[in-house]
Amino acid sequence: MGFIVRDYVRTALPVSSGRISAHKAIDASSATIRNIMFELDGEDYLYQPHTSAGRAPTEKGYNYFIRHLMSARAPEAEIRERLDKIIETLDQEADLAFEQLSRAMAGHLKLFSGVGFFGRGEKVFSKGLPEVLRAPEFAERNLASEFADFAEGISKNLADFGKGSKEDFEPIFNVQAFGAVSVFFNDEDFGRCAIFSAGPKRMNYEKAASVLKYAAKDIKNKSQKKHGRR
């Protein structure tokens, strides 16, 4: 299941049993792999987009992957360094820094991404919407319109996501018509904060969660240093 999700996220192409076998994703014969995929079909973890095609994850499949198979991975050094440099400038001009932070995350993840603040007023910075809407999934006009509405109402949507936030820095995943990841935390300078990314259901949840969590902790650490705390 893990191979299917990751491969589909990367290629946007349905995954066949032959592809799984060729990549030696599991130590089993092609016939056994086909039987496993058939069972996953029956349990609604996978579906077949086209006759004689491979399989793609369903909403249930993505949620299973997130809960049981996803790996905690550190962000790549290049994006860590870029985020560090941007967050170091928060004391100089915070709004500009958050604009740059949103742009950096959106560019790296290829997702609609940004930062929101609640409690001491409300403000959301976001970037990447036009690029995300070029994803093949959004060729479906109704889905593209639904996602654009989601982006337009991002403040309310983040507030709704935050209701499920039980612990700071723990990513919250929402997989429905499309996907979203958000990380919440409290900051002495900015109040209640949310860092988020959203895109097609096929978005890379592992990569997004690692980058958002890193950025959130970076902002928090910057604030703690400013106030003489560790």
Say how far apart CA 198 and CA 128 lie, in whole Å.
Answer: 10
Q: Give the pLDDT score at 165.
A: 79
* Domain ranges, ordered by start, for the chain: 2-69, 77-226
Q: Give the pLDDT score at 121.
A: 78
Q: Give the pLDDT score at 40.
A: 94
| Res. 52 pLDDT band, cuts 50 70 90 | low
| Res. 25 pLDDT band, cuts 50 70 90 | confident
| Mean pLDDT value of segment 108-136 | 93
Contact 87/218 with Cβ under 8 angstroms?
yes
Angle between helices 141-152 and 154-162 (to 10 degrees): 80
Q: Give the pLDDT score at 26.
A: 82
Contact 155/124 with Cβ under 8 angstroms?
yes
| Total length of the chain | 230
Name the least confident of 60-64, 109-113, 161-165, 198-202. Answer: 161-165
Architecture of the domain whose range is 2-69: Orthogonal Bundle (1.10)
| Mean pLDDT value of segment 65-82 | 94
Contact 180/164 with Cβ under 8 angstroms?
no
Q: Give the pLDDT score at 104.
A: 98
Contact 3/25 with Cβ under 8 angstroms?
yes
pLDDT digits (tens, 9 = 90+) for 214-224: 999 999 999 88
Say how far apart CA 201 and CA 153 lie, in whole Å.
Answer: 18
DSSP-derived pairing of the beta strands 56-57 and 178-187: unpaired
Superfamily of domain 77-226: GAF domain (3.30.450.40)
Per cent of the chain over pLDDT 90 is 74
Mean pLDDT of the chain: 92
The beta strands (E) that lie in 13-52 are given as 46-47
pLDDT digits (tens, 9 = 90+) for 28-50: 888 899 899 999 999 999 999 87
| Mean pLDDT value of segment 60-68 | 96
24 vs 148, more confident: 148
